[in-house]
Amino acid sequence: MPQTAEIATADLKEIAAQVRRDIVRMVHAVNSGHPGGSLGCTDLLVALYFKVMKHNPEQFSMDGVGEDLFFLSNGHISATLYSVLARSGYFPVSELATFRKLNSRLQGHPTTHEGLPGIRVASGSLGQGLSVACGAAQAKKLNGDDRRVFVLMGDGELEEGQNWEAIMYAAHHKIDNLIGVIDHNGQQIDGSTAEIGGLGDLRSKFEAFGWHVLQADGNDYATLLPALEAAQAATGQGKPVMFIMDTRMGFGVDFMMEGHKWHGVAPNDAQLATALEQLTVGTVADY
Amino acid sequence: MKDFPYTESKDTRSGFGAGLHELGKTNPNVVALCADLTGSLKMDAFKKDFPERFFQVGIAEANMMGVAAGMTIGGKIPFTGTFANFSTGRVYDQIRQSIAYSDKNVKICASHAGLTLGEDGATHQILEDLGMMKMLPGMTVINPCDYNQTKAATIAIAEHHGPVYLRFGRPVVPNFTPADQNFVIGEAVMLNEGTDVSIFATGHLVWKAVLAGKLLAEKGINAEIINIHTIKPLDAQAILASARKTRCVVTAEEHQMNGGLGDSIAQLLAREEPLPLEMVAVNDSFGESATPDQLMEKYKLNEAAIVAAVEAVMKRRK
């Protein structure tokens, strides 16, 4: 697939459908994983890796100087990241078949430990990615590198206090080459975020902390792509940028879109077949 | 017993501050982060001369560890500074996932370790940090003994790729190691060759071991004294060579018995050369408020305690 700023939205949709097929097949194969959030964030990751970010899949470098960087703080949606990394050229697509299996580079949660190209820090224990992204963004400033740093977090993950340390830090230090994205699906393991953590008015909270805030639907390229454009346009103006991305957990597979049930459950054989029927692509290129 | 003349006493944290400032001049990739304890960590000189590479993080240690991990991406070498308690236990998961498991080149620099923090009491006197840090795969753990050695260690760890825990303290102690020493990570330092007992000491207990050596010499006991500034990787070769010669061992540290230097050496001896061993360390207890000297006496971390341990272990020697 082409990696270009000029890529057509139809092509992004095609890639996203293929990534969603990968996700449900990967979690089904090992009867474990987190399909709900993975499906909800697929459109974002496809947009970042196939349209928005300047990056170098063929020659991965840990330092990523001159490249845009992406950090996944909610590491449990690893299946999405692995599929997008493989399909954008970081490693062979066939390796997706090793997900969560013994001796794999595709661990349950992402890690640098096995040297998988495209991963720059381990994540899974929640609340740490924003701090790491702040540091990486400050290193870019020290290096005179004008590219940006993206970091994706879950909304339930905002219950972790370290995030609020980082939110205060990023504004105080004017880390304006940083774009945070909240996967705002309103769900977490034990129920809705409203019921469990009481996230409240996120936009007002981030604005009060001194961030530039955007909000848009993250499962519709008609709104997602302009939001990502606007987020990038807002960088370089003295404030970190937070994109509250409204998503549906399980997006693309109808029976996975209800509530929080599919946060961490794999489909059975029949459910996989139903899911794959719904995830149609022009030319199926399953791993 | 060799003599160890010294002209001044200084705190080890000032050795860190001097080493960090030196690195500021020599290594443009070195950056420093501090959690609202710049004065206590002696980071003022670095902050003054290299303000663009100094990052005040505020009272937010978890964030500091994550930011440090992130700064390595792009080639920076971050040195984090706060008290040992807030450098380890408070942020264990951040160190474990974002630094150790991710193999990030972060130097975790920890002051006010152990009982010698003194009057602030047990909330601040961590005695478990060496254990927590040495259990992390890939983590290097260093506890130098005086100002000169702490300065040398600070400079040396910048050249080592990988996460490092560098532990030092608050009190003023004799500065007796050479200013021009070549600090080699993982290489034990022979202070006094002897034949009757091996004393392996780390941190502030190294000087106490020297004092004990003099008292033992007066009793006709010829102690071998070795400074184990690096707890991990442990210099097994030097330790085994000495233990095989003297046939009995005393370890000394300002730390819990569980998880400290004595624990590491006991494991080594049990595997390679089972020999009698006594540990001078805190025995499953928290500290408390008092002057450092009072605490070191009460918790039996002084030269008298080392002498007693030597006498006990020599009775067990076969």
**Averaged over A268-272, what is the pLDDT?**
98
A145 touches chain B (CB under 8 A): yes
Q: How far apart are CA A189 and CA A171, in angstroms?
A: 30
Q: How far apart are CA B314 and CA B207, in angstroms?
A: 21
Q: Average pLDDT, whole number, for chain A?
A: 96
Q: How far apart are CA A174 and CA B201, in angstroms?
A: 46
B37 touches chain A (CB under 8 A): no
**Averaged over B281-298, what is the pLDDT?**
98
Backbone phi, psi, residue B92, to 5°: -60, -45
**Averaged over A117-130, what is the pLDDT?**
98
Residue B113: closest CA among B9, B260, B279? B260
Q: What is the ipTM of this complex?
A: 0.96
Contacts of B218 (CB under 8 A, 6+ apart): none
For B139-188, how does the pLDDT look when each residue is reduced to its tens digit (9 = 90+)? 999 999 999 999 999 999 999 999 999 999 999 999 999 999 999 999 99
Structure tokens at B142: 């260093």
B67 touches chain A (CB under 8 A): yes
B74, A139: Cβ pair inside 8 Å?
A: yes
Would the pLDDT of B45 be above 80?
yes
Work out the pLDDT band at A2, boundaries 50, 70, 90.
very low
Residue A228: closest CA among A188, A266, A195, A181? A181
The pLDDT assigned to B105 comes to 98
How far is B225 from chain A, CA to nearest CA, in Å? Answer: 39
Q: Are B306 and B212 in contact (CB under 8 A)?
A: yes
Chain B positions in Cβ-Cβ contact with residue A127 (cut-off 8 Å): 62
Would the pLDDT of B39 be above 80?
yes
Find the CB nearest A169 among B60, B75, B104.
B60
Q: How far apart are CA A57 and CA A110, in angstroms?
A: 17
Contacts of A129 (CB under 8 A, 6+ apart): A71, A72, A73, A74, A75, A121, A123, A151, A152, A153, B66
Q: Hunting for tokens 């498991």 — which residue is that?
A: B101
Contacts of B281 (CB under 8 A, 6+ apart): B251, B252, B253, B254, B255, B256, B257, B260, B261, B262, B301
For A127-171, how does the pLDDT look when each residue is reduced to its tens digit (9 = 90+)? 999 999 999 999 999 999 999 999 999 999 999 999 999 999 999
Q: Are B153 and B122 in contact (CB under 8 A)?
A: no
A132 touches chain B (CB under 8 A): yes
The pLDDT assigned to A4 comes to 58
B283 CB burial (10 A radius; 0-12, 13-18, 19+): exposed
Backbone phi, psi, residue B80, to 5°: -95, 145
Contacts of B225 (CB under 8 A, 6+ apart): B190, B191, B192, B194, B199, B201, B206, B209, B210, B213
Structure tokens at A23: 């996700």
Structure tokens at A104: 């794999």
For B82-111, how does the pLDDT look when each residue is reduced to its tens digit (9 = 90+)? 999 999 999 999 999 999 999 999 999 999
Q: How far apart are CA B251 and CA B13, in angstroms?
A: 23
For A91-110, how does the pLDDT look when each residue is reduced to its tens digit (9 = 90+)? 999 999 999 999 999 999 99
The pLDDT assigned to A1 comes to 42
A64, B31: Cβ pair inside 8 Å?
A: no
Contacts of A67 (CB under 8 A, 6+ apart): A53, A54, A55, A56, A61, A147
The pLDDT assigned to A89 comes to 98
Q: Which residues of A132-168 are buried (b: 16+ CB within 10 A; e: fewer)?
A: bbbbbbbbbbbbebebbbbbbbbbbbbbbebbbbbbe
B184 touches chain A (CB under 8 A): no
For A200-241, how does the pLDDT look when each residue is reduced to its tens digit (9 = 90+)? 999 999 999 999 999 999 999 999 999 999 999 999 999 999
Q: Average pLDDT, whole number, for chain B?
A: 98
Q: Is B61 tagged catalytic?
A: yes
Residue B137: closest CA among A110, A103, A111, A71? A111
Angle of CA points A68, B100, B13, to nearest 5°: 105
DSSP states of A46-89: HHIIIII----STT--SS-TTS-EEEESSGGGHHHHHHHHHHTT
Angle of CA points B186, B190, B196, to nearest 5°: 125
Specify the length of chain A in residues.
287
The pLDDT assigned to B260 comes to 98
Q: Hunting for tokens 């408070």 — which residue is that?
A: B90
Q: Peptide bond before B233: cis, by omega within 30 degrees of 0?
A: yes
Q: How far apart are CA B134 and CA B250, in angstroms?
A: 20
Q: How far is CA B12 from the centre of its chain?
A: 10
B136 touches chain A (CB under 8 A): no
Chain A positions in Cβ-Cβ contact with residue B57 (cut-off 8 Å): 169
The pLDDT assigned to B51 comes to 98
Work out the pLDDT band at A260, boundaries 50, 70, 90.
confident
Active-site hit among B61, B224, B253, B278? B61
Work out the pLDDT band at A197, boundaries 50, 70, 90.
confident
For A22-41, how does the pLDDT look when each residue is reduced to its tens digit (9 = 90+)? 999 999 999 999 999 999 99
Q: Are A121 and B73 in contact (CB under 8 A)?
A: yes
For B184-232, how does the pLDDT look when each residue is reduced to its tens digit (9 = 90+)? 999 999 999 999 999 999 999 999 999 999 999 999 999 999 999 999 9
A165, B93: Cβ pair inside 8 Å?
A: no
**In this complex, how many residue pairs, one in chain A and one in chain B, have their CB atoms less than 8 Å apart?**
121
Provide the pairing of β-strand B172-174 with B9-11.
Answer: antiparallel
A135, B70: Cβ pair inside 8 Å?
A: yes
What string of H, E and C letters represents the secondary structure of B188-240?
CEEEECCCCEEEEECCCHHHHHHHHHHHHHHCCCCEEEEECCEEECCCHHHHH
Residue A142: enclosing H or E segment and its boundaries?
Answer: helix A129-142
Would the pLDDT of A5 be above 90?
no
Q: Are A213 and A207 in contact (CB under 8 A)?
A: yes
Q: How far apart are CA A133 and CA A144, in angstroms?
A: 16
The pLDDT assigned to A6 comes to 84
Chain B positions in Cβ-Cβ contact with residue A162 (cut-off 8 Å): 62-63, 66, 94
For chain B, positions 102-131, list CB contacts with chain A under 8 A.
Answer: 102-104
